[in-house]
Amino acid sequence: MTCSSSRIDQAARRLLSSIAGTRDARVSAMALAHMRGAGKTLMGAGLLVQRGSAMSVVAEDDLDDTPTSVIAHPITGQHGHLGNAAWHDEQASARRRVYALDMAAAARRVVARLDCSLGEDPVPYLDGAVLDFGTARLPKRRARVGIWVARGLTTPAVFEEFRQLVDRRPADGLRVVLVLDPPDRNRFRFVRGHEFVALADVVDHEDGLAVAPEVLSARLLKGPSHKGPVWVSGDGGVLIVHGKWHEFTGGKQKIAVAMLAEARLDGDPVLPVARILEEAECGPSVKRLKNLFDGHPTWQEVIRESGSSAWLEV
């Protein structure tokens, strides 16, 4: 195998996720030294690179971790950096070098087994924290799904920026967001049209970083392991209430289900029926949810309609 396709073991993937979940996706050489071989694995695969084109370190006598460039001493020619009070040779500063996650390289590795329409030229958003790989066809799914790879979403400020981004660029159908952050921190609020998937849940363990298409398809159909009493897929196509699975195939039905589930998850479960029908772009003949869901065998088990209001029955 080449270094770019070498297997990423579990320890290295956990380290990558930990770095990805930080504000700047950076780590010091000193911290990497405590991770045994995980850091070397990521560097060997081209996923962790020294920050900047010039060598940089964290100054030994600084009070923060702001990187400073390594330069040649004007008299001796030895590489190092000028601290607050003295010159420090580079050899002594090696453990204070700063490395950064190569987000583009990591994201391409993640989607390597998906036939993404923008696989070679993803579009970056939020200073590269989110990469748009276009759409991909997954096993056992008729329609293509959008594929984004993101990091840092476990930081509230970044997640709010993400919500503003999707307001500007709404999903056309279902958009899968593959999240590199540590999986035990992935408890995101529902964002209609988007399915947040932890990389660890869908990774191909033979590769260690690439998503397995069949596993991703199963995850979209069955949901995550931590569903809670109510779980809904990003597009409203699957609704699971207390473990019972309900599937909705019509586009208008999906919109209605997603709206009701979003309202429930946000703590304000009751919605006007008129608003649901308007957003689902129903025709004048559809005046009630019972018209919209006519023929669906189980909708009344989970959706209640009373007068001009509707809500999920949980």
Averaged pLDDT score across all residues of the chain: 87
- Sorting pLDDT into bands at 50, 70 and 90, what band is 36? confident
Mean pLDDT, range 52-73, rounded to an integer: 53
pLDDT at site 162 = 97
User: What pLDDT is attached to residue 187?
Assistant: 72
Q: Are strands 48-50 and 98-101 parallel, antiparallel or unpaired?
A: antiparallel
CA 152, CA 162: separation in Å to the nearest integer?
10
Q: In this structure, which amino acid lies at residue 203? A: V
125 pLDDT more than 50: yes
User: d(Cα 100, Cα 290) in Å, to the nearest integer?
Assistant: 54
Mean pLDDT lowest for which of 40-44, 126-130, 221-225? Answer: 221-225
Q: Could you give the C-alpha distances from 245 to 20, 229, 239, 298, in angstroms and in order?
A: 33, 12, 6, 10
Query: What residues does each domain of the chain span?
Result: 3-103, 227-314
Fill in the DSSP letter of residue 214.
Answer: H
Report pLDDT for 70.
63
Q: What's this model's pTM, rounded to 2 decimal places? A: 0.81
**φ/ψ of residue 283, rounded to 5:** -75, 170
Q: What angle do CA 17, 218, 298 make, to 5 degrees?
A: 125
Report percent pLDDT > 70 for the chain: 84
84 alpha-carbon distance from chain centroid: 40
Does the pLDDT value for residue 272 go beyond 60? Answer: yes
The answer to whether residue 226 scores a pLDDT higher than 90 is no
Average pLDDT over residues 44-56: 73
pLDDT score of 133 more than 60: yes
